[in-house]
Structure 1
Amino acid sequence: MDALKKSIRAGTIAPVYFLYGPESYLKEEVAEMIKTALFPSEIDAAANTHILYGPDLTPGELVSKASEYPMFTQKQLIIVRQFEKIKKPPTKELQKQHEEKFSRYMQNPADFTVLVIDADQIEKKEQEKPPFSTLKMYRKEFPVIKNPDLFASDRAKSSGWEFEPDALKAFTAYIQPSAREICHEIDKIIMYASARTGLKLITAADVLDCVGISRTYNVFELEKALAARNLRLCSGISLMIMDQEGQKEGLGNIVRYLATFYIRLWKLSLPEVRQLPQAEIAKILGMYGKQEYFVKNYLTYTRSFSLSDTERAISALKETDAALKGLLPFPDEKFLLLKLMQKLLG
């Protein structure tokens, strides 16, 4: 994606872009960059940008639109949303004609049109069928973000800022792992932190203040209490988190965080893993960039939790998650939380 953005900023604009995948925010961002690169002013952009929707037109109709000369300008931008739902002609004969017309255009696209085709997730077998297979040479995938901490760190760096290790840990624990959520929250935190003078560093305090998390009752304090095997403190902090964030949502956040915590401990249960260099251990634990700083914490935690403790905890967390999803009965979230804590530390 960096290469794609770099070429657009340099003014190298392709005649067709096929952007597909679930990360709609990043696709919208690329489309906006193309628009900015094509048109000198917002007035020109508004007059010569056309938004179309897949369910409203067939492949052949899209080609007809793209083949129309723009008025009063050298270029036009056509953005097609929901292309995965492109309308099919009523008969197989017409479908074939439209597919052939679409294929011919993609082999020799108009030089006065930039066509940005946006589709959601498409199954692999569907990608090999027309019209998607015809777009193979223009394909750019925007998959689900697998490493939100790495994405967040890179995003902050692109704005000239850097997360402190504790800040990145706080950020990725509380922000939903979608590009839209991550980017919006980083923008908000940078605006907040910009009031300070000095280094462009995002601190844990910046994150906690902006995301609206208590500095006393949060999952990091819960982690410390858990490592100390303090059942009373763990239960108290967890109940306060649920009061702040909402009973169900708060408990859901606790379960997600603790699932990551215990899965990392489970991975470290093998002596051969613990003996690896810190950078290698970080990769195995799914800790990237500055998150590597916390590997030593997890190595220390392994002294407090045996393999059977860890496996029992993972089983209890799965059970709690199933209850939250309505698969198992429970009287209320507080009961569910206290029962979970008893299983983790009782």
Structure 2
Amino acid sequence: MTEFKQIMTDLKNRRFKPIYFLMGEETYYIDAITNYIVDNVLTEEEKGFNQTVYYGKDVDAATVVMASRRYPMMSKYQVVVVKEAQDIENIDELQHYASAPLNSTILVVNYKYKTLDRRKKLGSILKKNNAIFEFKKLYDNQVGAWLTQYLKDQGLTIDVKAGALMTDYLGTNLSKMVKEIDKLKVAVGPGLKHITPDHIEKNIGMSKDYNSFELQKALITKDVLKANRIIKVFGKDPKSHPIQAVISVLFNYFSKLMVYYYLPDKAKGNVARELGIREFFVQDYSMGARNYPARKVVSIISVLREYDMKSKGFGNVSANNGELLKEMVFKILH
């Protein structure tokens, strides 16, 4: 995120690089940089002659090189954008331009879901010219901090539970998260300053009472009634509550609970650092440790693995997701 912020700061101050080769699995950053360049570098009058957008399936490297070598018309810059560049079969031929780019051209290459080998010729040239940027997917335990910072930059704050609901619902998909936040801002209006679970439920469509986060809470506290009420709702709507996503949330918690047992220093700050969580959630692990001995946690992790396999058809002949969830939760609680 630091590199992304620096790129955006430079762009807003009109400090442009000749080439932006943007690659990696986290497409949010790639799209945000590309969209800013497309929308802001040239005026509307300049764009007609000086802005070209290609798609990888419809273009080859030679065409991109020729376009990039053109000089702008009645403008200081021209912008050449290649979207879905991972579909260009001969992309290494861009080296013929990358070795001597024009300062009057801003070439933006979107190489999504993949990474270019920096040891090969094109990668080596781009690396030498500081023109290649890789954006990796965030880990589950990084998304909460990212969301808080993103909202802070927007002048917003978020309730801890609301943040957990969003990350539980949307996972590590930052593009979806930003779209949902934008929809929320429009729906609530300019008075929105602090996002609550009610905002999430009314405007994003996720129940604040029936979600994986609340199921985890019910299991931590051994609230059998609540846990069964939640999985009953999950079983009726497996599309919105896929069992694999539920298992992933629970596996993440119980795996960290196993680590918690063996931490010599269980001070709140140290636990948060070691487990990669916010201090607010440390109480969930101290409560879990009181309710589940270490031997039981090992068993639970085994159960979660078993039902992950069953949900994918291994060792399961006819049970549907709702039935599998019911069996799994029973084994966790008893």
Q: Would you say 1:267 and 2:259 are equivalent positions?
A: yes
Instruction: Give 1:92's aligned residue.
Output: none
Structure 1 residue corresponding to 2:283, chosen from 296, 310, 313: 296
Instruction: Give 1:150's aligned residue.
Output: 145
CA contact 1:248–1:324 (8 Å) conserved in 2: no
Instruction: Give 2:198's aligned residue.
Output: 205
* Cα distance, 1:342–1:157 mapped onto 2, change above 3 Å: same
Deviations 1:133-165 (A, max 9, x none): 322220111111222112211211121101121
- Whole-Å separation in 2 of the counterparts to 1:123 and 1:195: 40
Instruction: Give 2:324's aligned residue.
Output: 336
The runs of at least 4 aligned residues of structure 1 exceeding 4 Å deviation read 55-58
Instruction: Give 1:172's aligned residue.
Output: 167
Instruction: Give 1:133's aligned residue.
Output: 124
CA deviation after TM superposition for structure 1 residue 114, in Å: 0.6
* Cα distance, 1:302–1:46 mapped onto 2, change above 3 Å: farther
- Whole-Å separation in 2 of the counterparts to 1:195 and 1:224: 33
Q: Match for 1:266: what amino acid?
A: M
CA deviation after TM superposition for structure 1 residue 227, in Å: 2.5
Q: Would you say 1:34 and 2:37 are equivalent positions?
A: yes
Q: Give the unaligned 5+ runs of structure 2.
A: none
CA deviation after TM superposition for structure 1 residue 46, in Å: 5.2
1:302 is paired with a residue of what secondary structure? helix
- Whole-Å separation in 1 of the counterparts to 2:162 and 2:208: 12
CA contact 2:18–2:106 (8 Å) conserved in 1: yes
With normalisation by structure 2, the TM-score equals 0.88
Q: Match for 2:331: what amino acid?
A: K
* Cα distance, 1:121–1:135 mapped onto 2, change above 3 Å: farther
Which piece of structure 1 moves more, 9-18 or 71-80?
Answer: 71-80
2:110 is paired with a residue of what secondary structure? strand
* Cα distance, 1:248–1:330 mapped onto 2, change above 3 Å: farther
% identity of equivalent residues: 23
CA deviation after TM superposition for structure 1 residue 282, in Å: 1.4
Instruction: Give 1:87's aligned residue.
Output: 89
Which piece of structure 1 moves more, 58-67 or 179-188?
Answer: 58-67
Q: Match for 2:105: what amino acid?
A: T
CA contact 2:158–2:195 (8 Å) conserved in 1: yes
2:316 is paired with a residue of what secondary structure? coil
2:76 is paired with a residue of what secondary structure? coil
Aligned residues: 326
CA deviation after TM superposition for structure 1 residue 32, in Å: 1.6
The 5 A counterparts of 1:250-289 are 250-272=242-264, 275-287=265-277
CA contact 1:21–1:120 (8 Å) conserved in 2: yes
CA deviation after TM superposition for structure 1 residue 295, in Å: 1.1
With normalisation by structure 1, the TM-score equals 0.85
Instruction: Give 2:176's aligned residue.
Output: 181
Q: Would you say 1:345 and 2:333 are equivalent positions?
A: yes
CA deviation after TM superposition for structure 1 residue 104, in Å: 5.2
CA contact 2:55–2:85 (8 Å) conserved in 1: yes
Q: Would you say 1:223 and 2:216 are equivalent positions?
A: yes
CA contact 1:316–1:343 (8 Å) conserved in 2: yes
* Cα distance, 1:281–1:312 mapped onto 2, change above 3 Å: same
Q: Would you say 1:22 and 2:25 are equivalent positions?
A: yes
What's the Cα RMSD here? 2.5
1:84 is paired with a residue of what secondary structure? helix
